[in-house]
Amino acid sequence: MVLLAALAFMSAGCDKLKSRDQLNKGIQAYRNARYNDAVEFFKNSVALDKTNINGRRYLATAYMSQYIPGADSPDNNRMAKAAKDEFLNVLNDNPKDTLALASLASLASLSLDIRRGPAE
């Protein structure tokens, strides 16, 4: 029983390290404007550690970076919705997250300035 508990603890710690590694790779991809790659790294990071708030913020930001205001296409609308949903996930866990609030407001502003669209 103790061995199982120790293995579970080590696995959780290992997942957090893997999550941090995926986060760092995502940041590097994002800085190099490889947003699709960044999204995948950030998704992996969050999947490995559900409490990784930075992974969620970066994931939302990577989606938002791919959104083009005024371009009415299914892919573009999906990017806006994905960004909105991820920022809302951040706010669900931390309602006072000012970065997520500001980013969500910015996304809504971009969408509303052009048309009533995905950020509604």
Residues 76-115: pLDDT tens digits? Answer: 999 999 999 999 999 999 999 999 999 999 988 887 654 4
Domain range spanning residue 74?
A: 2-114
pTM: 0.80
Residue 80 within any structural domain of the chain? yes
Residues 53-78 have a mean pLDDT of 93
Q: What are phi and psi of 115, to 5 degrees?
A: -170, 165
Residue 120 within any structural domain of the chain? no
For 119, the 3-state DSSP assignment is coil
**The domain spanning residue 22 has which CATH number?**
1.25.40.10
Residue 69 within any structural domain of the chain? yes
Residue 100 within any structural domain of the chain? yes
**How many structural domains are present in the chain?**
1
- Following CA atoms 113, 114, 117, 120 in sequence, which dihedral angle do they give, to the nearest 10 degrees? 0
Write the burial class of residue 119 (CB in 10 Å: 0-12 exposed, 13-18 middle, 19+ buried): buried
Residue 44 within any structural domain of the chain? yes
Residue 119 within any structural domain of the chain? no
- pLDDT at residue 6 is higher than 90: no
